[in-house]
Amino acid sequence: MKISSDQIDTKSLAGKTGGGQPIVYIASKGGLHAFFYKNADGNIESLAAAPHRAIAQWMAEQKDPKIEWDSDFGKSEDKLAVFDKNRFHRLRSLMFQQTVLSKSENIPSNQYLVYSIPAQIIVIQTAEELTKNIKDGGISRSCLVRNLALIEPVCLISDHPKFKDVR
């Protein structure tokens, strides 16, 4: 991954890997949040990258559970980062919840959970927003989707009866 200096919005030391190598945090002007470190050979390696800092941090911790984050790294955003991690985990558990409510139990909902597994992002969008984003190419047809009212099981957008023909 090559990021030029004119694309960088923020750059700081974030902590150390389990092996003791310094971790550099970069936020691009385009919204990418990434963590890098130098491996034993001295080459720069990507530890994690995501469109949100908390998700990138979580991904980095999955790759290296022994990361030691600097206590002052993102201090003003720490509460938000914890909130975002917790929200992500709650939404993911809801996405994969086995229960499908019967028609008599459900509350009609025009909102959908959309989960991009590669980016590990979950968003809630109305059917109209989702349709527009599929048409614009902002959301991949290989993302998972589920009605927020839990009236249907999770499936790929390309297989969902409401969105499969959206082009």
What is the pLDDT confidence band of residue 29, given thresholds at 50, 70 and 90? confident
Higher pLDDT, 100 or 28: 28
Q: Which pLDDT belongs to residue 105?
A: 53
How deeply is 18 buried, as exposed, middle or buried, from its count of CB atoms within 10 A (0-12, 13-18, 19+)?
exposed
What proportion of the chain, given as a percentage, has pLDDT over 90? 29
What is the pLDDT confidence band of residue 17, given thresholds at 50, 70 and 90? very high
Q: pTM above 0.75?
A: no
**118, 116, 117, 102: which is closest to 150 by C-alpha?**
102
